[in-house]
Each structure stands twice: as structure tokens, then as C-alpha cells.
Amino acid sequence: SESKINRLHPMAIGLLALKSKERPVSHFIYSAYSMISNRPNALTDKWIEDINTWCEQILSGMELGEQASFGIGDKIQRLELTVVKRRAKKWGGFPALITEDGEGWRYWMVWPGAFEYSVGDKVNIEGTVRDIKDGMVFLTRPSNVTKAKKK
């Protein structure tokens, strides 16, 4: 079990401990923290890979800080983003889409048209900022979502 712990990202335990104190705690954070703390010998290669990937995403988001060029409640007009992930799992009855701008900020939104876009597509979007956390901007009411014209 010690060799499995040694394969984890050096910040994994600290980040999981920190994030486990936030409410609500995600199932992934709870399960990962519980497994490392109570049953490290049960860690699989897939768990280790997922935890390490999660750590890298959290740390890259923290490097951006919380200083986006807009604040909570602001309306974003015609922002061009690249689709980096499309979640097949439905949130509130609709699929989710994660996009990224050129500076590394990620934008999370949920709406019925998310399945029309694929990873790598460039999209223009308007929406309202609901929250900003760890390099992720959470948008509500996405509208006028269109594929960006190729240059």
C-alpha cells in the first residue's frame, strides 16, 4: 500500500483533505479521501490516475486565482471558447459542457443543446456568471450558443 501512496500526486492528500471540508462534498472527493485514509491497499491504477488528474486540474485552476475579468452575476457577451469536455451524464435533466478560453479559464454550463457540440469545437456563448472557483466559471442561462466561424 505504501508503493501505491507514493504514486499519488504529492499534493493529493492535502488537496483532498482541504476539499473534503467544503460543502457539499462531491462523491469523488469523499470516496478518494476515504480510500486513501482507510484502505490505501485498495487503490487501483485507475483510482491513482483519476486522483492525479484531478489534482493537476485543481492546481492549474488555483494558479489562475479567483481574478477573472468579470464577477458573479455579470453577463458574459459573445465569449469564444473551445469545448474540452462534454458530460453524457445529465445534470438537472440536461447534459453539461465544459469549455476553455485562451487563458486557461474553464466554463461549465448545462443546457439542452450541449450534445450538439464535440470536444475541440469552438463556440460563441453568452451567459450569466453564477460562481467562480478554482479556475472554473459556472454559467447559468447560456444563450445564443453557436459554433464559431472558422478563420
CA 61 vs CA 135, 136, 141: distances in Å: 4, 7, 23
d(CA 5, CA 139): 36
**Per-residue pLDDT at 136:** 83
Residue with cell 452575476: 73
**Per-residue pLDDT at 151:** 56
Residue with cell 478518494: 32
**Per-residue pLDDT at 45:** 92
pTM more than 0.75: no
**Per-residue pLDDT at 135:** 77
Q: What is the mean pLDDT of each run of 10 residues along the chain (151 residues)?
A: 86 87 82 90 91 85 64 83 76 76 83 82 89 84 79 56
**Per-residue pLDDT at 142:** 84
Whether 27 and 100 have beta carbons less than 8 Å apart is answered as no
Buried b (16+ CB within 10 A) or exposed e, 48-85: beebbebbeebeebeebeeebeeeeeeebeebebebee
